[in-house]
Amino acid sequence: MFRAAIVLSQQYNITFQEQFLTYEEIITDDDIMVTLEQTCQKVSASNIVGFIDPAYSSETRYLVSFAYRLGILSVSYSATSPELSTIDNGAFYRVVPSDENTVLGVIILFEQYKWKSCIILYQNDEYGYNGMKFLTQKFSTMNIKTLEKIKFDIKQQNFQIDFKNTLLDSSSRIVIVWTNEKSTITILEKALEDKLIGPYFVWILTTTVALDYFNQRQKKELIGILTVEPVKGDFVDVPINTTLLNEAY
């Protein structure tokens, strides 16, 4: 998206200080110190007028503060932490909705179907902990019981408890999965293997997973799965500038 914006700026002869806009790339490896080090090098060597932040909220939080002190705008394309919504320095913007919107979507489902309890599966990082925290807080205000909170280790790609028996022994059959794409696929594969997906459980995913990851037999067994996700504006009759999109691509 941002590369397309650079292309458009050049096609429309948009300049900054009489120079065309270009871009520099940094591979962060999810390490904030590497991110800051390489960012300092780029800022020292080039006339940087804006940051497109890393994918993760944990890195974005620090880079936003750094950008603000330099007088540089910062834009995030995937950092969804609700805590970033409190940043009000006029130098930070994001083009994706906060996780609060995802929680709202889940809440609407529970209200619609009058569900009263759930099991939350979450990954053991900031994204997972924040999602689990906001969900349980909202559920608490609505008298919805969170019967199990099960942590998924994203490095080991496994649970630290007996996943199958914990779900089977619970009185709730609504399972919310707050994990990234890779972890969600692993969890679904384990659930399929343990026959936990089907008519007796409803699974609510917060990450979109392509069916291409599963074989034909598994696809037939993926029953009772819902996904809460953001959609493009034109899907819900919000106008978009198709002229610019066509010229960019």
Same domain for 130 and 222?
yes
Q: Is residue 73 domain-resident?
A: yes
pTM, two decimal places:
0.81
Q: For residue 153, name the pLDDT band (cuts at 50, 70, 90).
A: very high
Q: Is residue 233 domain-resident?
A: no
Same domain for 86 and 105?
no
Same domain for 82 and 60?
yes
Q: Is residue 244 domain-resident?
A: yes
Q: Is residue 164 domain-resident?
A: yes
Same domain for 54 and 104?
no
CATH of the domain at 124: 3.40.50.2300
Domain that holds residue 110: 99-227
Same domain for 175 and 136?
yes
What tens digit of pLDDT does each residue of 161-202 get? 999 999 999 999 999 999 999 999 999 999 999 999 988 899
Distance CA 27, CA 239 (A): 34
Q: Is residue 203 domain-resident?
A: yes
Percent of the chain at pLDDT > 70 equals 96
What is the secondary structure of 37-68 as a DSSP string? HHHHHHHHHS---EEE--SSHHHHHHHHHHHH
Same domain for 42 and 56?
yes
What tens digit of pLDDT does each residue of 68-117 get? 888 888 888 888 888 887 777 778 888 888 888 899 999 999 999 999 99
Token digits of residue 207 = 């990450």
Q: Is residue 232 domain-resident?
A: no
- Count of domains in the chain? 2
Same domain for 106 and 118?
yes
Dihedral, 205, 104, 240, 48 alpha carbons, nearest 10: -90
Distance CA 33, CA 71 (A): 20
Distance CA 107, CA 176 (A): 11
What tens digit of pLDDT does each residue of 199-219 get? 889 999 999 898 888 988 888
Same domain for 75 and 141?
no
Q: For residue 249, name the pLDDT band (cuts at 50, 70, 90).
A: low
Task: State the average pLDDT for the chain.
Answer: 88
Neighbours of 23 (CB within 10 A): 12
CB 121 within 8 A of CB 128: no
Same domain for 56 and 77?
yes
In what helix (H) or strand (E) does residue 33 lie, and over which residues does it extend? Answer: helix 32-45
What is the distance in angstroms between the CA of the first residue and the CA of the last residue of the chain? 10
Same domain for 107 and 218?
yes
